[in-house]
């Protein structure tokens, strides 16, 4: 398989996860009860929209075909999040837990793609590294928010 095809596959894999995260955060903002969390989740969704636009722009600049949809796995994860939240005594904490799982999976996906950095243009590597770092920061924020949400019902 030539390098161009591999690069397109790597980036479309990341794009798919990005669209899943975008939809996940939109869903989370509808499910949670805390107004500040609703706003925070909406901001995270908007951030993922920017990530997708950045990756799509890089792909178009390389004459590659970007994906424009998420995955079935992402749809299932959002459904699971809704079910867990509906059954939980603390919806906000439950939704944060599921968002954390999704973000940790995203970091793994970015790490997997970045293992092939020599096959990617340097501009793409820079974009992916910056996004991965921001997602790690989001993971840290979610952990702090989880601690706060857990104590609300104590």
Domain range annotation of the chain: 3-152
- Mean pLDDT, the chain, rounded, equals 83
CA separation for the pair 28, 56 (Å, rounded):
25
Tens of pLDDT along the chain (154 residues) come to 466 678 888 999 899 889 888 988 998 898 888 899 999 999 999 999 999 999 999 999 988 888 775 544 555 544 545 455 544 555 788 889 888 989 999 999 999 999 999 989 999 999 999 999 999 999 999 999 887 776 655 4
3-152: CATH architecture: Up-down Bundle (1.20)
The contacts found for 61-65 with CB under 8 angstroms, 24 or more apart, are: 62/4, 62/7, 62/121, 62/124, 64/4, 64/7, 64/8, 64/11, 65/8
């Amino acid at each position: 398989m030539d390098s161009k095809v591999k690069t397109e596959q790597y980036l479309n894999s990341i794009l798919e996860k990005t669209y899943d995260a975008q939809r996940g955060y939109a869903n989370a903002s509808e499910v949670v009860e805390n107004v500040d969390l609703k706003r925070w989740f909406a901001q995270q969704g908007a951030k993922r929209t920017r990530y997708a636009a950045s990756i799509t722009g890089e792909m178009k600049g390389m004459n590659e075909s970007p994906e424009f949809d998420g995955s079935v796995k992402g749809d299932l994860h959002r459904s699971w999040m809704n079910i867990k939240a509906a059954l939980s005594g603390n919806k906000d904490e439950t939704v944060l837990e599921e968002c954390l799982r999704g973000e940790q999976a995203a970091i793994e996906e970015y790490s997997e793609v970045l293992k092939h950095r020599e096959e990617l243009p340097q501009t793409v590597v820079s974009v992916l590294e910056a996004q991965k770092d921001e997602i790690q920061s989001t993971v840290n924020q979610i952990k702090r928010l989880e601690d706060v949400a857990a104590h609300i019902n104590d």
